[in-house]
Amino acid sequence: MSVRVFASSQSWIESDAVDQCHRVAALDGMRHVAGMPDLHPGKGAPIGAAMLSSVLYPFLVGSDIGCGIAVFPIKLKRPNLERLAARFPDLDRALTPDDELWPDEIPADHPESLGTVGRGNHFVELARVDEVMQEGRVGKGDLVLIVHSGSRGLGESILRAHTEVHGAGPAADPAAYLEAHDQAVRWGSLNRRLMAERVAHALGAATAEPIVDECHNFVEVRDGLYLHRKGAARGIGNDVLVAGTRGTPSYLVAGHAGAEANFSVAHGAGRKMSRSDALRRNKAKHTVTELRRTAVGSLVVCGDRQLLFEEAPTAYKRIEQVIGDLVAHELATPVAVTIPLVTYKTRDR
């Protein structure tokens, strides 16, 4: 069926990703595929796409069901970057039941890895609001915690249970898949809150409710159809944090996407290079020192050198271009710009 990619001629969109959109569009029951300006190739399914179908395909959401980005206001007296980076808690170590932050109820009875950030493009970032275009959410100079993480092993186990029997085929029992899926979505959201609390505690600050918490890997049942989002967020009257990179700004935007965009907006800058390309090219281009102290003066806590190269800002598209495309196609309008101060990736070496 129909495919529409919301990008301009100057935008970097790999043909492989567009090909994937057309392959998805040819699936049984597919009504419409909307590619966001951060579209890039994924494993089988494109990343940065919203796919509307009468048939539910778990592989279109992928393994990290419930992955999303939340923004929490935080107040700190006088932020000293080195001191703050050193005080970030170990978010590779899971919470335990004797921890004071341990929740009373855990969705899906999945206590493993609760409170951990994971790897890949996940991060917890202390950032400063640098510019405000629309009043009412955050003020210039405010500090926020941006948490990008998902359901860790839980979503992976849900997809694997399906894939082992049905591969890339449709969900045999959509209601059963959706029940497990919804638990992973709740687990992911709880996990982001717990991480914000862990960091706020460690930095001696109070915790606040998130001003934004939007998933970008999930299924929404809409008018009896399944709207699969993979690296795409809801954009219908809600705000979304569109993540830049570890070393460039991020944008809080107000989404107002229509049916052509499957009611969705981009979730980030989007990869420009595969992980293997980024590792090879950035090893030649950068030192770990300059990747740990970025061009905007922020610090990156990342003990894993390989991950540092894979996640270098040059591995991603320009966030300004992605936001420009959202605005040009009237999918969203900018609310505020944040600049990273300290980004936590992993303590592990």
Partner DNA sequence: ATGTCC
* Binding stretches for DNA (CB under 7 A): 43, 62-64, 67, 112-113, 118-122, 149-150, 152-153, 156
CB of 182 to DNA, least distance (A): 18
Rg, Å, the chain Cα set: 19
For DNA, the closer CB: 188 or 235: 188
Whether 267 is catalytic:
yes
CB of 210 to DNA, least distance (A): 19
Of 32, 267, 286, 329, which one is the catalytic site residue?
267
The DSSP element (H or E) to which 302 belongs, if any, is: strand 299-302
CB of 258 to DNA, least distance (A): 27
* CA dist., res. 172 & res. 272, Å (int): 35
For DNA, the closer CB: 59 or 177: 59
**DSSP H helical ranges for the chain:** 15-25, 58-61, 81-87, 153-166, 174-202, 275-285, 288-292, 305-310, 319-328
Residue 33 Cα to chain centre, angstroms: 20
SS3 218: strand
CB of 189 to DNA, least distance (A): 14
Strand 236-242, strand 299-302: pairing = unpaired
CB of 152 to DNA, least distance (A): 4
For DNA, the closer CB: 64 or 142: 64
* CA dist., res. 262 & res. 130, Å (int): 31
For DNA, the closer CB: 132 or 240: 240
For DNA, the closer CB: 67 or 126: 67
Read off the tokens for 6: 């919301």
The CA distances from residue 195 to 28, 118, 220, 260, in Å, are 40, 11, 25, 35
Q: Which residues are catalytic?
A: 267
